[in-house]
Amino acid sequence: MQSCGLRDLIDRTPGECLVFTLRAPDLECIAWREGRDTALLREREAAIVFGELCARTLRAGSAFGHEAESNRFVAAMPAPPRDLPRLARTVLGELVYRMEETTGLRVEGGWALCERGSDAGRALGDAMEAGLERGRREHDRFAFFASIGHEMRTPLMSIDGYLQTVLESDLDETTRRHFTEVAKSESVRLRRLVESMYALSLADLDIELKRHVSCDAQSAVERAADAIYPAAARRGTRLKVCSRVRCAIPLASEHAVTLFVNLMENAVKHGSEGGRIEIYLEERDDLTVYVDDDGPGVPVADRARIFKEHERGRALAAGDGLGLAIVRATVERIGGHAGVTKSPLGGARFVLRLPLAEEVEVHSGITMRSP
């Protein structure tokens, strides 16, 4: 089918359409290395393969197309009422795998929902870009999960070694206690890695399934402050929630608390020892959350990079590099934005802009914490 078939499908579908976008970047390299005619021939061959794959893989009533002299291949089908992310990933995986296997080209891909609107062409273009961006994020995330096993083996081996020594050796009480404390510390580090991986997977999957949940923003911030207080106390950090709002955000309570815990934990870790952290909430057309610390701040060159999985700023302390990635993934899934700038306290100011949801029961009592 031609590209117009995709626009026709969006126009006549009463609900949402699933749009799959595949991209073959090797076609550009072939054009440079072997000439435009060779690239066009490989492109036409790939378009034929893509059409055959879509005809076998997609549901009835779907459409697919390819624009000449382009490295993008697009397909769409009416979105199913249930199990959407799982089905979308299954179909996309089949298309990408078979396309690579048959054509010998390297293929990237992603999926997104496209809603019927007044301009089907624009909606389709937006869905294509959103799908490719989702695909890039998921590729990076899968690569990270594949490599994190090495990092998890280290604390596991340490725990096993220390506990085996404690059980099989005749140690004095001081050494035994020291070895046990080290094993406990490593178990905490391992647990945090597992929890962070789980939270990151929730940010990618579960939020998409729970579109109509909401929670009280103030309550989530205060619960996060309670959770992070022991870590702040160990560093002598004064943690203070400085404002009160009465609004809800479109997140399940456990996701919202995880979101704010990661921001506050980052501030405790990288703020000054014996310093202070201040959290402000401001409600206007959306909810803006500010988390300020008095540490060294984040250099301008690192401000985008630190939100990527397994990345840390050059001047920052050690960590697993997952906390801020979870923040960004969670916020973006609900249509918000996460950023960082300079704080009035002299360190970093992390800024979240979150859409508002319907009102929910509000938790009472503002929290003022300092060790």
Q: Which two tokens stand for residue 332?
A: 């973006």
How much of the chain, in percent, has pLDDT values that exceed 70? Answer: 81
Q: Which two tokens stand for residue 257?
A: 């608390």
Predicted local distance difference test score (pLDDT) of residue 308: 67
Question: Which CATH fold would you assign to the domain 215-354?
Answer: Heat Shock Protein 90 (3.30.565)
Among 14-23, 25-34, 106-115, 362-371, which is the least confidently predicted range? 362-371
Q: Which two tokens stand for residue 10?
A: 């969006």
| Alpha-carbon span 307 to 289, nearest angstrom | 17
Give the number of C-alpha atoms closer than 13 A to the C-alpha of residue 29, restricted to the C-beta side.
Answer: 5
Predicted local distance difference test score (pLDDT) of residue 207: 46
Q: Are strands 16-23 and 108-115 parallel, antiparallel or unpaired?
A: antiparallel
CATH code reported for the domain at 3-137: 3.30.70.270
Predicted local distance difference test score (pLDDT) of residue 309: 52
Q: Which two tokens stand for residue 360?
A: 């929910």
Neighbours of 201 (CB within 10 A): 14
- 346: phi > 0 → left, psi -120 to 50 → alpha, else beta; which? left
Give residue-wise pLDDT tens across range 348-370. 999 999 999 875 544 433 343 44
| Contacts of residue 231, Cβ cutoff 8 Å, sequence gap at least 6 | 265, 268, 269
Mean pLDDT (whole number) for 99-123: 86
CA distances from 328 to 211, 273, 325 (A): 18, 26, 5
Report the amino acid identity of residue 129: E
Q: Which two tokens stand for residue 238?
A: 């004064």
94 three-class SS: helix
Write the burial class of residue 289 (CB in 10 Å: 0-12 exposed, 13-18 middle, 19+ buried): buried
Query: Which H/E stretch holds residue 176?
Result: helix 173-209
| Torsion sign, CA atoms 102, 105, 111, 117 | negative
Question: What does the domain layout of the chain look like in residue ranges?
Answer: 3-137, 141-208, 215-354
Same fold for the domain at 141-208 and the one at 215-354? no
Q: Which two tokens stand for residue 244?
A: 């009160």
Q: Is residue 100 scored above 90 in pLDDT?
A: yes
DSSP string, 279-342: EEEEESSSEEEEEEE-SS---GGGTTGGGSTT---TTSPP--S-HHHHHHHHHHHTT-EEEEEE
Mean pLDDT (whole number) for 290-314: 74
Give residue-wise pLDDT tens across range 310-323. 444 433 444 445 67
| Torsion sign, CA atoms 261, 265, 266, 267 | positive
Q: Which two tokens stand for residue 182?
A: 């080290």
Mean pLDDT (whole number) for 162-188: 85
| Alpha-carbon span 214 to 262, nearest angstrom | 19
Q: Which residue has the higher pLDDT, 151 or 236?
A: 236
141-208: what CATH class?
mainly alpha
CA distances from 221 to 129, 217, 225, 260, 366 (A): 33, 6, 6, 6, 10
Mean pLDDT (whole number) for 11-21: 81
